[in-house]
Amino acid sequence: MALTTSIPLWIQDVLKSYEGDAKCIEIEQQLRVNAQSVPHYSLHNGIIRHKNRIYIGEHTQLRHQLITSFHDSALGGHSGERATYHRLKLLFHWSKLKQ
């Protein structure tokens, strides 16, 4: 009997953000060899985490989608850059997130 699982589309987008990203490839390779090799990073089911937050690779469209979603959502309520940044950083990490 085969077990079928579905992966949410946004998780697939996170995984795609790693493709062609030299930093992500390097981190993932190091973590697969030694889970403790990269300080503050971990690997769970192919998802890179930085301090337990989901790491987003150099996929600017996904980054833009996340920013827009967190800003425009009912929870976000168009609350401005600073509030949007603080909500995003609770769950996600990417280089220059604060910018």
From the list 46, 54, 42, 63, the residue with the least C-alpha distance to 7 is 46
pLDDT at 80: 77
pLDDT at 10: 86
Note down pLDDT in tens along the chain; length 99 residues: 666 667 788 899 999 999 999 999 999 999 999 999 999 999 999 999 999 999 999 877 898 889 888 888 655 555 678 888 888 999 999 988 776
pLDDT at 73: 65
Residue pair 54/93 in contact by the 8 Å Cβ criterion: yes
Residues forming beta bridges with residue 55, ordered by sequence position: 93
**Domain 18-93, CATH 1.10.340 — does that match?**
yes
